Each structure stands twice: as structure tokens, then as C-alpha cells.
Amino acid sequence: MNIINYFQKPYKSWIPRNLNKKVVQIDSIEIDLASHCNLNCKGCTHFSPIAEKWFIDVEDFRKDVQRTSELLPDGCVKRFYILGGEPLLHKRISEMLVIAREAYRKTPIYIITNGFLLEQMDDKFWNVCNQYNIVIEITKYPVNYDYAKIKKIMQDQKGKVKIIYKGRTKFLKKKQYKLPLDETGNQDEVYGFTHCHMAGNCINLAHGHLYTCSYAACMDRFNKYFHKNIPVTEADGVDIYQDYSTEEVIRKLTQPIPLCKYCAVKERTYGNKWENSKRDISEWT
């Protein structure tokens, strides 16, 4: 993942995934605290610009994260990401950080945020981040926001809470990529999966299931807004309340899913100029 900057390189630069290689540790688990966002990025891979306003229920979060940690315990997951939408919009984020840390005592936990709301966060939030070793990872966007505020927060939290910028977004203008869907479902699912940067790398926890990518986890948002019916079935995810071994879960999450037939991976473009979403279907098709 570090070798190739996927904001800038075309899909052909990806070394195709070897489906026969045994995976013992997955890169990350992601969970949305909110579907919507205070930014509006064209082609957002969580469909936040077109999502209805929604916040995760804290008890659902607790139940699903605890169960996930039984299936994929510490050591099987490199990182646990709390994101959205914009996760800082959730008023009870501090409680969920504690829950996440109790479930994953050793796995690094990150909040993935655009950082705009950090200046409004209360002492409880900062104390929890400090006490429970939560890292805040900020993606810097080319928008009209005074990033000197973030610098000040970083200085204030120095030695207490680790706050970092995501990848090279601190220095380089954030780019966008376009990951178009193909409503006909006529794509080659094995080709798509093995050439997809999300496949198996962005495991999403949603609806009591684990999914190999955010498209499978969030497709309901696209379908609802555009009145489409791109199918996400039981075969596209792992029901975390079924009786699976860790090995079975990892294997299922690192193999092509039926939804891959709806991803036009060869048509993907990377390194595009960052723009606001106009909520037009062409941003995702």
C-alpha cells in the first residue's frame, strides 16, 4: 500500500491481488458513526453527499464491535478505523471510543476525519483519546478552511493525543478518484476484485455484517438516492452473528463478491482534481 500512491496512479499500477495467497491479518476494519458529512466530496466512496442523515446507535455499535472482536480479535486486524461521513458529528463519539478500545485492547484505533470539528470537541473527548490511545488522522482538503487551527490543536495536544495528517495530504493537494459502477452487472468480478484497491483492504462493519469494501456496505445510500437497485445480498458480506471461525471470515472477506460485477474497475480514474459533489449520478457511474 505504501509503494503506490492511489490518489495519483491509475489502476493499472496496482499489482493484482493473488487470490491464492493466504491472508492471516486484515489491513483495517472501518465503521461509520454517521452517514452524512460536513464536506461534500464528488464521488465519495461512502456516498455521504447523497446519504440521508443517520447516526449509529451506540448500543448497536457496542454489540457489533464486540462481536467483530470475537471473530477478528487483536492480532488479526492491523488498524481499527472510526469514520463516516464525518465521525465527529456524532455527539456520543467518546463513549464509542471507549467501547472500541475495550474490544480491541492492542489494535491501533484511528478516527478518520476532515478535522473541521476538532476545535469544538469537549474535554471528555480529548481525555478519552489520551487515556485510550486513540489516534486522530486528518485528511487535508483543498477547501476554504484555516488549517492553522489544526496546527494549534496539534500543539495543545502534543504529548497527549497523537494527531497526524493522512498520507501526503499534508503537503500535496488532495486528489479524487472516480470508481464508477456499471448498472448492467456485466463486469468480470474476479478481474474487478483483483484490481480494486478497496477489495479486502477497507473492510467495513455495517448492518451487522462485515464487507470487503465500502461500496458493499453503503450501496443502499446510492440505491435510495438515485432509485436504483444494485443488489447487495447475503453473499456480498459476512453475517457477524453466524458461527464462523476467524480463518473463514478472513477468507470470505478476501475473495470476490457478486457486487464486483457492478464495478467498472477498468474505467476508474485517479489523480482527478478535488471538486464538490453536485449529487449527480455520473460521479459514481
Chain positions contacting ligand SF4, by CB under 6 A:
37, 39-41, 44, 46, 48-49, 84-86, 114, 192-193, 196, 198-199, 212-213, 215-216, 257, 259-260, 263, 265
CA–CA dist 238, 34 (Å, integer): 21
Minimum distance of ligand SF4 from residue 66's CB (angstroms): 25
Please, which residue, 126 or 215, has the CB nearer to ligand SF4? Answer: 215
Minimum distance of ligand SF4 from residue 121's CB (angstroms): 17
Please, which residue, 62 or 79, has the CB nearer to ligand SF4? Answer: 79
Minimum distance of ligand SF4 from residue 123's CB (angstroms): 25
Please, which residue, 29 or 257, has the CB nearer to ligand SF4? Answer: 257
Minimum distance of ligand SF4 from residue 180's CB (angstroms): 10
Please, which residue, 40 or 246, has the CB nearer to ligand SF4? Answer: 40
Minimum distance of ligand SF4 from residue 40's CB (angstroms): 6
Please, which residue, 107 or 114, has the CB nearer to ligand SF4? Answer: 114
